[in-house]
Amino acid sequence: MAIDSLEFVLKPLFSHRITSRRGLIKQFFGAFLGFVLLGTAQVSTAAPDASADVFIKRLTDELLATVKADKSILSGDINKISALVDQRVMPHVNFQRMTASAVGPGWRQATPEQQKRLQEEFKALLVRTYAGAVNQVNDQTIVVKPLRASPDDKEVIVRTEVRGKGDPTQLDYRVEKAPDAPAGWRIYNLNVLGVWLVDNYRTQFAAEINAKGVDGLIASLAERNKTNRAAGK
């Protein structure tokens, strides 16, 4: 089983909620690009002792300002977006946890070198898959809903709503306290319209590992990324 695009995976999930499949995919891609690019905000935007909702609010506000001011980002410049992810996103995201959770039990079977390759290929897949939708961020605003959490909670869900043209889009973040993170929090999953990104990929990855092992998953991801690069995605 090849690694399918998220468009294929989400098609049956939401066909009853949004009449235009293309409209749904644009919503999902645009919302996810908000997540990917929120790291373009300066790390000083949220103090280390800020609450999780303040952390998300400040980052997303600065994200929107950054995206709207950068024509190369709005045009979907893959190289520019990739550079931003490497330089600014990673400090705010526990990408190892994201990858390990997406891979599931197979992660523990993988060698350190395989884990490194999985992280590299998974990141490349996400960035290139959604980069073409970055212009969807242009006319959006982010509303952060009241946080339901105790100050002592180590992991919380920050619920937000992306508003723009059309119906609002649910966009929720799972975040963990991380004393070594610039803002004291790191993101490790997100939910768009009821689907958790990591959980969605876990199903695909498990099937690939069961069929071909960890190396087979790495090869499928690499092939998918190669195809995307060749297509200019």
> What's the CATH number where 199 sits?
3.10.450.710
Q: Look at residue 3 and tell me whether its pLDDT is greater than 60.
A: no
Residues 205-226: tens digit of each pLDDT: 999 999 999 999 999 999 999 9
For residue 8, the model assigns a pLDDT of 36
- Where in the sequence is the domain holding 212, given as residue range(s)? 6-230
- Tell me, yes or no, if the pTM score tops 0.85: no
Averaging pLDDT over each range in 12-21, 62-71, 73-82, 214-223, which range is the top one? 214-223
- Decide if 168 is inside a domain: yes
Whether 146 shows a pLDDT value over 50: the answer reads yes
Q: Which amino acid appears at position 12 of this protein?
A: P
Within a domain: residue 1?
Answer: no
Q: What is the DSSP string of 168-230?
A: -EEEEEEEEE-TTSTTSEEEEEEEETTEEHHHHHHHHHHHHHHHHHHHHHHHHHHHHHHHHHH
**Position of tokens 């609450």?**
51
Count of structural domains, the chain: 1
